[in-house]
Amino acid sequence: MIRLRYVANLLPGYGVDFVPAGSDLPLVEEGAYIAASLELANPGFFSKTYTAAEQKVLTEVKGIKWTVTGEAAGTYSAMPVSTLIEALFAPYIFDRDAAGFMFQALGSNA
């Protein structure tokens, strides 16, 4: 989980051996310890795959009404999330769903 979700999105200048100020462990190692403790407490936690149909809550019974929870269209919206790991990596990773910009040249190369 750490390698596929967070290490793959580290911003330039931050490697797997990066140690944040005030920490004794490299960022990736600390994240791996947190993920391992979650997986030990809840076996299969990071193996769960969520479908769009599961990302909703029942909000009305008589008329049977469902409300979508969270952002179902995000790149990682169908993956299990640890808020602690998200907070740990947030300053150091690229957000795949952030608005961006692009330069494009118009005209011919002739």
* Distance separating alpha carbons of residues 98 and 101, to the nearest angstrom: 10
Q: Say if 82 falls within a structural domain.
A: yes
Domain count, the chain: 1
Q: Say if 109 falls within a structural domain.
A: no
Q: Residue 31 sits in which domain range? A: 2-92
Q: Say if 58 falls within a structural domain.
A: yes
The average pLDDT across 98-107 equals 68
Q: Determine the residue type at 86.
A: E
Q: Is 104 helix (H, G, I), strand (E, B) or coil?
A: coil
What confidence score (pLDDT) does residue 23 get?
Answer: 93
Give the CA angle between residues 12, 18, 20 to the nearest 5°.
105
* Distance separating alpha carbons of residues 35 and 89, to the nearest angstrom: 12
What digits encode the pLDDT tens for the residues 42-93? 998 888 766 655 666 767 777 777 676 666 667 776 777 888 999 999 999 9
